Amino acid sequence: MDLNLAGRFFIVTGAGSGFGRAIAERLLDEGATVLAVARTESVLLSFQKMFPSNLQIIVGDVSERQTQERIFAACSNRFVDGVLINAGGPPARPFLETSLDDWDTAYNLLLRWKVSFCHKIIPVFQKQGYGRLLFIESVSVKQAVDQLVLSNSLRLAVVGFVKSLAKDIADQNITLNILAPGYHDTAAMKRLFERKAYTNNSSVDEARKELIHQIPVGRLGSADELAVLATWLLSPLSGFVTGQTISHDGGLVQGNLG
Q: Give the tens place of pLDDT for each residue, 173-193.
A: 999 999 999 999 988 787 778
Sorted by sequence, the CB contacts under 8 Å of residue 205 that are 6+ apart come out as none
Cα 38 versus chain centre, distance = 13
Q: Count of CB atoms within 10 A of residue 4's CB?
A: 13
Instruction: Tell me the β-bridge partners of 201.
Output: none
Burial label for 237, CB within 10 Å (0-12, 13-18, 19+), is middle
What global pTM score does this model have?
0.95
Length of the chain: 258
Looking at residue 116, its pLDDT comes to 97
Strands 33-38 and 55-59: parallel
What is the spatial order of strands in the sheet that 245-248 belongs to? 55-59, 33-38, 9-13, 82-85, 131-136, 174-181, 245-248
- CA angle (58 as vertex; 54, 61 as ends), nearest 5: 145
Can you tell me the mean pLDDT for 78-88? 96
Three-point CA angle 110, 30, 16, nearest 5°: 35
Query: What average pLDDT does the segment 19-45 reach?
Result: 97
Cα–Cα–Cα angle for 227, 71, 191, nearest 5°? 50
Name the band, by pLDDT with cuts 50, 70 and 90, for residue 208: confident
Across the range 18-29, mean pLDDT stands at: 97
pLDDT tens-digit series, residues 100-141: 999 999 999 999 999 999 999 999 999 999 999 999 999 999
User: How far is the C-alpha of 31 from the C-alpha of 8, rounded, in Å?
Assistant: 8
Mean pLDDT over residues 200-208, rounded? 85
Domains (range + CATH), the chain: 9-182+222-247 (3.40.50.720), 184-220 (no CATH)
Residue pair 173/130 in contact (Cβ under 8 Å)? The answer is yes
> What is the pLDDT, as a whole number, of residue 147?
87
